[in-house]
């Protein structure tokens, strides 16, 4: 089941990316769609190659090797605070730029979903025990982690499909 969920989410990331590429090619204003395509491929590559997990694994080994593993909880909490601040600042900056360059509402919406997906990926990668216990606990065969990620992916997918169908480019 886990492999199916993991590969399914990767497939959705790549489908979103390719749909955005198609929209970019047909768009008269390629800039916003190109930026969204870039974010989509970063999310797809991160998921497929488990990039944030690899960073976490590296830091965990470093923590054992350099004897700071015992005090990791404090670092994890600080990391979560930094992630929250960076995501809020990024969201504000990206939306100011999006408004400045006349991005449509659907483009801004897709951008917001991508920022939230990236933030979710970073939060998961902190590997804070309380967060892991909450996200990965099995609830009748379903993990909240899957529900959150697939919900966000579904919303992004539907927004991209709506943009394509309604030719909002």
The tens digit of pLDDT for each residue in 9-53 reads 999 999 999 999 999 999 988 999 999 999 999 999 999 999 998
Residues comprising the chain, all counted: 169
Domain housing 41: 2-165
The tens digit of pLDDT for each residue in 43-79 reads 999 999 999 989 888 988 998 899 888 888 888 888 8
Count up the domains in the chain and report the number: 1
Q: Give the global pTM.
A: 0.89
* Distance, C-alpha 114 to centroid of its chain: 5
Which residues, 6+ apart, have CB-to-CB distance to 160 below 8 Å?
16, 19, 20, 23, 110
């Amino acid at each position: 089941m886990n492999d199916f969920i993991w590969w399914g989410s990767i497939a959705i990331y790549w489908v979103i990316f390719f749909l955005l590429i198609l929209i970019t090619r047909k768009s008269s204003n390629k800039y916003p769609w190109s930026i969204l395509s870039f974010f989509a491929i970063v999310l797809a590559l991160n998921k497929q190659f488990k990039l944030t997990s690899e960073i976490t694994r590296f830091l965990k080994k470093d923590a054992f090797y350099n004897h700071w593993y015992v005090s990791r909880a404090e670092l994890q909490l600080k990391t979560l605070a930094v992630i929250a601040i960076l995501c809020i600042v990024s969201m504000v900056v990206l939306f100011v730029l999006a408004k400045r360059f006349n991005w449509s509402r659907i483009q801004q919406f897709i951008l917001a979903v991508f920022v939230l997906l990236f933030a979710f990926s970073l939060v998961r990668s902190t590997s804070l025990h309380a967060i892991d216990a909450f996200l990965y606990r099995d609830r009748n065969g379903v993990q909240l982690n899957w529900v959150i990620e697939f919900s966000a992916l579904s919303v992004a997918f539907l927004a991209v499909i709506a943009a394509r169908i309604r030719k909002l480019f």
